[in-house]
Structures are given as structure tokens and as C-alpha cells.
Chains A and B, each alone.
Chain A
Amino acid sequence: MIDAIRNLGSRGISSVWRAGAMARFFMLILANSGMSFRRFQLTIREIYFAGVMSLVIIMVSGLFIGMVLGLQGFETLQRYNAEETMGVLVALTLLRELGPVVTALLFASRAGSAITAEIGLMKATEQLKAMDMMAIDPMSRVVAPRFWAGAISMPVLAALFSSTGIFGGYLVAILLVGIDSGVFWSNLHAAVDFRYDVLNGIVKSVVFGVAISIIATFEGFDADPTAEGVARATTRTVVTSALTVLLLDLILTGFMLRGD
């Protein structure tokens, strides 16, 4: 019993410690970001790996989730004879919640884990030490471009996810349910508010992108320099990112809800 409490305490302390270390790591990334923008092709290269490689999974998932939302929405809305507002339901759900959150979860497992594994492997094989011996700072050359690539890709991917999702909902509405295309779009247009729906969704996806990119680069840089150390770090990236995204989503949603 005492042991269990002690265990819990030490886990708690180590989580807090890691969070602090990540915050410091984030500051260090910011301080070493000059090269990521001065030589933007470094960041573009990482955007290609983190972002472009995630395109397919993001768009396919978006399409499916939009279609499912459409079907579920139709099922419920038709009881109130409100099936024509189906587009609104799909769009709001995606823009406010599912777009940023599901994209973040997919992005963490597709790109975040890859970033961790890549940096961890470079550490385990002494590539980072070698670079440091060549008088090139791995923080500037390896870590910061990957961080910025993640932070830039994530909002773009979330926007694509929501767009394909809305298109999926549209397909269901037109082809399966038989709602008029003009009605679908005009309802959607009237109900979606740019400031409260679109912009808040973008804010969320930016915050999630930054969080995942910090976690992924930190875990890679902090990994034990062995094969199993890198494997463990990769798993930690996915788990920590998921929990962090869900917690941040709760907090952000709390702040973003209007009183009306």
C-alpha cells in the first residue's frame, strides 16, 4: 500500500519533471530557430516528410468520418424533420472538434512517431554527436526544422481533414439522402460563423501541432541511445501526444464556448 502510494508519487514527480524539461526544450528550440527560416528549404524538406506523407491517411480518414457523421446526423435529424440541416451538423462537428482532434491524433501516430524515431536513431548512432563535433548544432540543424515542419503542417492537415469531411457529408446528403445541393450549402453557409467556428478550430489545430511537435522532438532527443530506448520513446510520443491533445482540447473548448 505504502509502496503503491510511493510509486504513484514518484510517477507524478517524474511527469512534472518531464513537463518542465519539455518547456525548457521548447525555449531552446525557439532560441535555435534562426536556421529553420533563414534556410527554409531545410524546413520544407521536413514538411514534406511530416506533412505530405500524412496527406493520404488524413484525407481518407476525413472523408470516412464526414460520411459517418452524415449518416448518423441524418438518422437523428430526420426525427425532428430537420434533415436539411445535416450539413450544419457535419460542418460544425468537424470544424470545432473532430477536425483538429482527430487530425492531431493521426498526426501524432503518423508523423510524430516518425520524428521521434528519426531523431532517436540519429542519437543512438552518434550522428548528433558527430554533427556537434563538426561545429554544427543539432538543435538548429535537426531539431528546430522538424519542430517547425510539424507546427506548420498540422493546421494545414486539420483544414484538409475538415474539408474532405464536409465533402464526405455532402456526398451522403446528396447521393444517399437526397437533400438538395443548394439547400445543403446555404444552410451550412448561414450557420457556420467564421470567428467562433473556423477560427477557433484553427487555433486548436495550431496549439495541438505545437504540442505534438515539442513532444515528438523532445522524446527523440531524450531517448536512451539504444534500439529499445528509441522504441520506448516512439511509444511515449504517441501516448503522451494523445493525452496532451485531449486535455488541451478540453481546456481550449472551455475557454472558447460562448455564453449564449
Chain B
Amino acid sequence: MSSSPSQSFVEIDNVDFSYGKRAILKGISLNVPKGKVVAIMGGSGCGKTTLLRLIGGQLVPSKGMVRVDGQDIAALDRDGMYAMRRKMGMLFQFGALFTDMSVFDNIAFQLREHTTLPEDMIRDLVLMKLDAVGLRGTAKLFPAELSGGMARRVALARAVALDPMLIMYDEPFAGLDPISLSVVGQTIRKLNNALGATSIVVTHDIVESLQIVDYLYFVSEGRIVGHGSPDEIRNSDEPFIRQFVHAELDGPVPFHYPAGNYHEQLGLAPVRPVTPKGSRP
């Protein structure tokens, strides 16, 4: 690793991970400096959620080390792990709001479980968190009564209920309309600065990320294939980053999932080689 540990809040050092025999991450190394918002970009299924779960200690790498706040996550026992997780907030990809509780109770949940604060203080704290995402008026509603964008923001408020030092966002922009999307983006930046926290945003939304983050990593096929500040990324000549930034169909990332011969599979006779463009068959 290049930077010194004292400056990074999260360090991932040469980590391998596989589900069964299927290798998902192959020698990933990255650094998330304290106080910064870092994006981890990559296509669907490239292992972004897996990476967050490794940081949160819900998965253990088969090789390499994940360090959060200077501590090796794999070396923690259960109590140590839970103590560490109290410093983390996670926005799940699909919100994961508790469906049997109101919005208010969802956000109060951790305060009630982890603190002995009196109920009127919890009430004030919850309303403050809800106000920060602009949804104080929804306190009495249930998750099923919220729109997708509202549910995302409630989940966001819940992720920061305990003022975590590290906030992880799993695809916070997916499936949002443009307005909700930029509201969520601004909120992520605002919360990070207001709490003095460190944030990791996992996403494939390059446009929004370039506007709000301090640094970006690109993951493809289990490896880091590029990284840089937003300015460096915008001007990058690396093929993968160009493909991602400019949404080109053709590039290092193949459009086709590996498969057998198309014509054989359809039961067609082998065809003549494709005729060059412009020429008549």
C-alpha cells in the first residue's frame, strides 16, 4: 500500500474472495482516507456488495487483509466485531427497512438498542435525522407507504442514526428518478461533512459519482482496473475507464457473457464468415 495507515480509515490489502469455487475478488487493494468520500465503481455482479460485506465483517476474505480504523477485521471476536460495527452505518442496496416498524421506529431502532437515552431525547434525535433527509413528515408512515426515493432516504437516515465514523452506501442511486438521485447524492456528501465521517459509495452511476466523491476506484472481473480523483478520471485515457465514463458498448468489458457457438445452439448450419461492412452478400 502506498499511503500510511494512519491516514486511511479503511484499507483493503490484496484480498481474495470466492463463493464456493467461484472467485469473485482477486487481489483487490484499495485505500479509503479518513474524512473522504470514495466511490467503488463496477458493473452489476462484479462483487461490489461482496466488498462492502467484507469491510463490515459479514464475510471473511480467503486471502489478504481488511483493516478498518487500524484493526484487522478478521482478527476480531464477536464482541469486538459488534463494537466495530457500531462505528459503521450501512445503506443496503434494497433499503432493508424493517417492514413491521414505522419510519420513526426504524430510525429509533439502534438508539433504543444501543443507548439508554430517554425516549424524549430519542424522539428529538430521530426527528433531526429525518429532517436531514427532508422527511420529517413521514415519521408515522410505514415503509410500504413510501416511494422508492423516500424509502432510500429513510434508509439513509437510519444508516447514520448513531453518527457512524464509516458510512457505506450500496448502490444508493439505483432506480431513482433524476431529482431523487441528486437529492441522495447531495445528502451523502452533506452527511459525510457534517458528521466528519468517511464514506464508501458503491455504484455504477459515474455521472453522479464524479460530482460528489473525492476519489474513485474501478473494479472489473475481481480486480481494480483503475483509480483516480474525479478530474483524473474525466481525462483518463485508460480503455476501461473511457468505456465506463463514456458508456461505450464496445471496449474491454465484453457485451456477451461467455457462451457456446450461437448458431450451433440455435440448431442452424454453420454460416459463412460475416461479410465485411458495405459489401453485398
Contact = CB atoms under 8 A, between A and B. Distances in A.
B83 interface: yes
B54 interface: no
B109 A134 contact: yes
Contact of A133 (B58, B93, B97): B58
A5 interface: no
B240 interface: no
Contacts of A118: 100
B99 A125 contact: yes
A137 B83 CA distance: 12
Contacts of B82: 135, 137
Contacts of B96: 125-127, 129-130
A-side interface mostly: helix
Contact of A135 (B94, B97, B100, B114): B114
B10 to A, nearest CB: 15
Contacts of A129: 58, 92, 96
B99 A136 contact: no
Given A125-B99, A135-B114, A130 B90 contact: yes
Interface string A112-136: 0000001001100111011011111
Contacts of A122: 98-99
B83 to A, nearest CB: 7
Contacts of A137: 82
B228 to A, nearest CB: 29
Contacts of B58: 129, 132-133
Contact of B99 (A127, A132, A133, A134): A127
Interface of B: 56, 58, 81-83, 85-86, 88, 90, 92-94, 96-100, 109-110, 113-114
7 contacts: A122-B98, A125-B99, A126-B93, A130-B92, A134-B109, A135-B85, A135-B86
